[in-house]
Amino acid sequence: MKNRVAFVTGAGQGIGEAIALRLAKDGLAVAVADFNQETARQVAEKINQQGGKAIALKVDVSQRDQVMDAVEEARRALGGFDVIVNNAGIAPSTPIAEITEAVVDKVYNVNVKGVIWGMQAAIKAFAAEGHGGKIINACSQAGHVGNPELAVYSSSKFAVRGLTQTAARDLAPAGITVNAFCPGIVRTPMWEEIDRQISEAAGKPAGYGTEEFAKRITLGRLSEPEDVAACVAYLASPDSDYMTGQSLLIDGGMVFN
Ligand SMILES: NC(=O)C1=CN([C@@H]2O[C@H](COP(=O)(O)OP(=O)(O)OC[C@H]3O[C@@H](n4cnc5c(N)ncnc54)[C@H](O)[C@@H]3O)[C@@H](O)[C@H]2O)C=CC1
Ligand SMILES: CC(=O)C(C)=O
């Protein structure tokens, strides 16, 4: 039987890497897409060495043409198109009084426009294959509650939640479901940098930011990228066929709403 095909952005490290590895383990052929060509290549190589099927693609998700071209290349190279995971994101610290136009543009170009371009590319690819599919967007607990020092990032994730709900309604007639995953603190290079910035701003040693956030986690531990990948694996599987428009909180209870 033909493999289902997934395209994962920001898959060169962190959560995206874990998602790519997990979907490959679940039998999907995976396009490992990242701004960083070298890390994307390494992840694709790991999947192929483990007996899966993967290709690496260099793409800047903020550039619409690059996203459209990369998705089309993946569809042709892997022989189909079933799932897109719009995972790439950036999270610079942005205290309100220090927000610049440049940082707003940078964050929104990746976190918001990147999701819109990914959804558009997926719609085209699903149509070319003559069936619906699954769109999965990276949101965050920060898309449910405003996070201190992260106004631009947090608002971009609120936007992702809105886009996910709206796209779910628009695309249901085409057989496309649209959902998002909303982690809390995940042990990745992104979180390490946020911790460093929070700790530095408070005049405390590295690790302080993590301790402060971790106090609010019901399950009493930070999440690992694999915890998030397990949720995404469900959203990518037929088990979630009746779910759409949802932004699933998987943060172990930092936010309940
Ligand atoms: N780490 C955390 O605590 C949380 C992360 N998230 C979200 O999960 C997603 C993944 O986060 P992490 O793995 O932690 O981040 P990370 O910073 O560790 O990895 C992000 C990956 O995206 C790639 N990337 C960045 N800009 C790109 C662009 N313009 N085009 C293509 N690729 C690009 C990077 O090269 C990197 O490989 C993000 O959307 C983030 O906002 C959500 C909640 C918590
Ligand atoms: C970076 C992020 O989305 C967090 C800490 O929820």
206-218 residue pLDDT tens = 999 888 888 878 8
Q: Please report, rounded to a whole number, the percentage of residues in the chain having pLDDT higher than 90.
A: 86
Residue 240 has pLDDT above 70, yes or no: yes
| Closest protein CA for atom 42 of ligand 1 | 140
| pLDDT computed for residue 1 by the predictor | 74
Residue 144 has pLDDT above 60, yes or no: yes
**Does 61 count as an annotated binding residue?**
yes
Q: Please report, rounded to a whole number, the percentage of residues in the chain having pLDDT higher than 70.
A: 98
Q: Specify the 3-state DSSP secondary structure of 256.
A: coil
How do residues 81-130 score in pLDDT, each as one tens digit? 999 999 999 999 999 999 999 999 999 999 999 999 999 999 999 999 99
CA nearest to 238, candidates 28, 87, 79: 28
Assess whether the C-beta atom of 236 lies below 6 angstroms from ligand 1.
Answer: no
CA quadruple 53, 68, 150, 181: dihedral positive or negative?
Answer: negative
| pLDDT computed for residue 256 by the predictor | 62
Pairwise CA distance, residues 16 & 161, whole Å? 19
| Closest protein CA for atom 6 of ligand 2 | 184
Domains of the chain, each with CATH number or no CATH? 5-184+224-248 (3.40.50.720), 187-222 (no CATH)
Pairwise CA distance, residues 256 & 58, whole Å? 37
230-250 CB burial, b ≥16 within 10 A, e <16: ebbbebbeeebeeebbbbbbb
* Dist. CA 185 → ligand 2 center (Å): 6
Side chain identity at residue 77, one-letter code: A
* Dist. CA 188 → ligand 2 center (Å): 10
| Closest protein CA for atom 20 of ligand 1 | 10
**Does 71 count as an annotated binding residue?**
no
Assess whether the C-beta atom of 52 lies below 6 angstroms from ligand 1.
Answer: no
ipTM: 0.99
Pairwise CA distance, residues 215 & 119, whole Å? 36
Residue 200, H or E segment? helix 189-201
* Dist. CA 14 → ligand 1 center (Å): 7
Ligand 2: lining residues by beta carbon, under 6 Å: 91, 140-142, 184-185, 190, 194
The arithmetic mean of pLDDT across residues 19-39, rounded, is 98
Residue 37 has pLDDT above 50, yes or no: yes
Number of CB atoms found within 10 A of residue 201's CB: 14
Mean pLDDT, the chain, integer: 95
Region of 85 (left: φ > 0; alpha: ψ -120 to 50; beta: rest) is beta
* Dist. CA 91 → ligand 2 center (Å): 8
**Does 110 count as an annotated binding residue?**
no
Sheet holding 83-86, edge to edge: 54-58, 29-34, 5-9, 83-86, 133-138, 176-182, 247-249
Assess whether the C-beta atom of 62 lies below 6 angstroms from ligand 1.
Answer: yes
Q: Of 39-43, 132-136, 191-195, 244-248, which gets the smallest average pLDDT?
A: 191-195
CB 19 within 8 A of CB 85: yes
Pairwise CA distance, residues 138 & 112, whole Å? 10
Residue 255 has pLDDT above 90, yes or no: no
Q: Give burial (CB, 10 Å; 0-12/13-18/19+) of 12.
A: buried
Would you place residue 257 in the very low, low, confident or very high pLDDT band (cuts 50, 70, 90)?
very low
**Does 198 count as an annotated binding residue?**
no
| pLDDT computed for residue 108 by the predictor | 98
The arithmetic mean of pLDDT across residues 32-50, rounded, is 98
